[in-house]
Amino acid sequence: WEREMTIARGFRFDAERAIQAAAVVLRDRGPMDRMRLLKILYIASRKVLQETGKPILGGRASALENGPLHSEVYDQIKGDANDAQWRKFFRNIGHTVTLEDDPGRLDLSPLEIETLNQTADWAEQFETFELSRWTHDNLPDYQKNEPPPGSPNPISVNDILEALEFSPQESADVIAEQSAHDTFVASMEK
């Protein structure tokens, strides 16, 4: 039962890693539209998951009208999470996210940092809504869960792994390994 919940909800969300990942994207690029930032984080996390079997960002993935995103990061950006930790490093001006202070990047691997930067550089070829359209047209995990207008649909870890062409056994192994890691981290935090 616990494993099924993990699969549906997503891997454990790590706010510090999310903050550091967002800061990597914004550090050299300056203020950014939040939709663009959310798409870059989603795409980069998928790429790392495909390469390593571990996501940059855990938490719940959701399909919204403007494409996929990590729900907890979106909540933090919007201020819905009431997260003082996020607000310590970022400021919103309308729909623009600005890096106010550098959180460092010690929780991220060199591969994760490189992938975040490569994805942000790649995304520069698109206007923000073109990048959103790209996610609609090119991400099977979004297409499978495309929501009706105005309401989000969850994207399961299984849907992401299937879209990344993991076999059922590889998916089960990834989920089991990440679940064990998440349980260990949660026990260390108590």
Structure-block tokens of residue 127: 């206007």
pTM to 2 decimals?
0.91
Question: How high is the pLDDT of residue 160?
Answer: 95
Question: How high is the pLDDT of residue 10?
Answer: 64
Mean pLDDT of the chain: 89
What are the pLDDT digits (tens) for 63-72? 999 999 999 9
What are the pLDDT digits (tens) for 165-182? 999 999 888 888 877 877
Structure-block tokens of residue 49: 């998951």
Structure-token match 């790392």, residue found: 48
